[in-house]
C-alpha cells in the first residue's frame, strides 16, 4: 500500500515536472530578469508579483490568441502591446484600490511586467505554436516558471540579506549580508543558483556516461 502511495506521489511529481518540459528556463529568466532582480528582495513582493503576472499574462495570452484569428498578421504585435498594457493598467487600478501597500511596494516593476509580458508573447515558446491551445499551455508554463524562479530567488535573498522569511524574523538583520538586498546580490544569487543547477546536470550526465562505459565493457 505504502509503495503504491509512494509510486503515485512520484508519478504526480513527474507529471508536474513534465509540464515544464520544452520550456527553456534560461530564456524565461533572461526575458524576465528585470523584475526578478528588482522585486525579489522580499518573498511577499515576489510571490505577489508572480501571481499578478500569471493572471495578467494568461488573460493577455487568451485574448491575443483569439485576436490572432481575426486580425491580419502585421497588426499582431501592436495588438499584443495594447492588450498586455491595457490589462496591466487594469491590474494597477485594482491593486491600488484593494492592496495599496503592496502596490506601493512593487509599483514600478508592475509597469515593467507589461514589457515582459509582450516579450514573452513574442518569444518562440509561444509565438511559434500553431494551435491556440498549445500557445496558451506554453504561456501558462512560462508564467509559472517565471513565478517559481522569483519565489526561489526571493527566499534566498530575503533570508541571506535580512534574516527573515515572509517578514518573519529568524536571524537578527544586523548580522546578515545586507548587500544581498541590492541588485548586486540579486545577480550574484541568480548566477550561483544557475551554476549549481548546471553542476548538478553535469554530474548526472557524467554518471550516465560512466555507467554506459561500464555496460559496454
Partner 1 sequence: MNFLNIVSVAFAAVFAENIVFNYAFGTNSVISDSDNEKKALGTGAFMTVVTTISSVLCFLADLLLNKWNSIEFLRTFVFMIITVASGLLLYELVKRFVKVRRREEKRVFMRLAINSAILGALVLTSAKGLGFFAAVVNGLFSGLGFTIAIMLFAAIRVKLRFCKIPKSFEGLPILLVTIGLLALVFMGFNGISFA
For partner 1, the binding residues (CB under 8 A) are 26, 29-34, 37-38, 77-78, 81-82, 85-86, 88-89, 92-93, 96, 108, 110-112, 114-116, 118-119, 122, 182-188, 190-192, 194-196, 198-199, 202
Q: Which is nearer to partner 1, 30 or 171 (CB)?
A: 30
Instruction: Tell me how far, at minimum, the Cβ of 10 lies from partner 1, in Å.
Output: 27
Q: Which is nearer to partner 1, 24 or 136 (CB)?
A: 24
CB of 88 to partner 1, least distance (A): 5
Alpha helix ranges (H) inside the chain: 2-19, 25-31, 33-39, 43-70, 76-98, 100-122, 124-127, 132-162, 183-216
Q: What is the dihedral of CA 165, 170, 176, 182, to 10 degrees?
A: 20
Nearer to partner 1, 31 or 138 (CB): 31
Residue pointed to by grid coordinates 514600478: 108
| Nearest to partner 1 of 25, 137 (CB atom) | 25
Cα 189 to Cα 120: distance, rounded to the nearest angstrom: 23
Whole-number minimum distance, CB 5 to partner 1, in Å? 36
* Least distance from partner 1 to the Cβ atom of residue 69, Å: 21
- CB-based burial label for 11 (10 Å; 0-12, 13-18, 19+): exposed
Q: Nearest approach, Cβ of 146 to partner 1 (angstroms)?
A: 12
When the beta carbons of 32 and 163 are compared against partner 1, the nearer one is 32
Burial, 53: exposed, middle or buried (Cβ in 10 Å; 0-12, 13-18, 19+)?
buried
SS (H, E, C) 72-106: CHHHHHHHHHHHHHHHHHHHHHHHHHHCHHHHHHH
Which DSSP symbol is given to 32? T
Closest CA to 40 of 51, 52, 48: 48
Q: Provide, rounded to whole angstroms, the least separation between the CB of residue 32 and partner 1.
A: 8
Closest to partner 1 by CB, 14 vs 101, is 101
What is the torsional sign of CA 56, 62, 64, 67? negative
Amino acid at each position: 500500500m505504502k509503495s503504491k502511495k509512494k509510486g503515485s506521489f512520484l508519478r504526480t511529481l513527474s507529471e508536474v515536472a513534465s509540464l515544464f518540459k520544452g520550456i527553456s528556463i534560461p530564456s524565461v529568466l533572461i526575458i524576465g530578469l528585470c523584475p526578478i532582480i528588482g522585486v525579489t528582495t522580499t518573498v511577499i513582493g515576489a510571490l505577489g508579483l508572480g501571481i499578478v503576472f500569471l493572471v495578467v499574462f494568461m488573460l493577455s495570452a487568451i485574448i491575443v490568441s483569439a485576436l490572432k484569428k481575426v486580425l491580419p498578421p502585421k497588426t499582431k504585435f501592436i495588438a499584443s502591446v495594447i492588450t498586455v498594457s491595457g490589462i496591466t493598467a487594469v491590474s494597477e487600478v485594482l491593486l491600488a484600490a484593494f492592496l495599496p501597500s503592496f502596490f506601493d511596494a512593487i509599483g514600478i516593476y508592475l509597469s515593467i511586467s507589461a514589457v515582459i509580458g509582450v516579450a514573452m508573447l513574442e518569444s518562440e515558446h509561444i509565438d511559434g505554436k500553431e494551435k491556440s491551445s498549445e500557445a496558451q499551455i506554453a504561456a501558462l508554463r512560462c508564467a509559472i516558471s517565471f513565478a517559481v524562479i522569483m519565489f526561489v530567488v526571493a527566499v534566498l535573498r530575503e533570508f541571506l540579506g535580512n534574516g527573515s522569511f515572509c517578514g518573519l524574523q529568524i536571524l537578527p538583520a544586523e548580522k546578515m549580508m545586507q548587500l544581498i538586498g541590492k541588485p548586486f546580490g540579486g545577480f550574484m544569487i541568480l548566477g550561483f543558483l544557475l551554476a549549481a543547477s548546471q553542476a548538478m546536470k553535469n554530474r548526472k550526465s557524467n554518471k550516465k556516461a560512466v555507467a554506459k562505459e561500464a555496460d559496454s565493457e
